[in-house]
Amino acid sequence: DAKTTQPPSMDCAEGRAANLPCNHSTISGNEYVYWYRQIHSQGPQYIIHGLKNNETNEMASLIITEDRKSSTLILPHATLRDTAVYYCIVKGAQKLVFGQGTRLTINP
């Protein structure tokens, strides 16, 4: 499975859009990009995933570049409850491999 690179931490003001980048330059054609988040010490929570088209659901939007080497998770109106560690994962084979993620802090 391809490796991902994320900034270790980011800050965002409450009510603004939070844009979390992820690089996955070695992604192959059949690998999906998944995003999960972990709030405090709870179990990770699924956010969204995509293959090559942009995706949107009730939680977030996922923008994947045309060459698929990077993606951005967008939380359109961040709230304090969105403070968490966000994991970008490229998944082809069965198992999901987590990196260290981005610690996103939403500031009032």
Partner 1 sequence: NAGVTQTPKFQVLKTGQSMTLQCAQDMNHNSMYWYRQDPGMGLRLIYYSASEGTTDKGEVPNGYNVSRLNKREFSLRLESAAPSQTSVYFCACSQGPNEKLFFGSGTQLSVL
Contact residues toward partner 1 (CB under 8 A) are: 32, 34, 36, 41-46, 49, 87, 91, 93-101
Q: By three-state DSSP, how is residue 51 classified?
A: coil
- Return the number of the residue (18 or 37) whose C-beta is nearest partner 1: 37
What is the nearest approach in angstroms of partner 1 to the Cβ of residue 80?
A: 21
Alpha-carbon separation of residue 99 from 3, 17, 37, 77, 86 (angstroms): 8, 24, 12, 25, 10
- Identity of the residue, 7 or 46, whose beta carbon is nearer to partner 1 in the bound complex: 46
From the CB of 79, what's the least distance to partner 1, in Å? 22
Nearer to partner 1, 38 or 72 (CB): 38
Count of CB atoms situated within 10 Å of the CB of 66: 6
Q: How far is the CB of 49 from partner 1 (least distance, A)?
A: 7
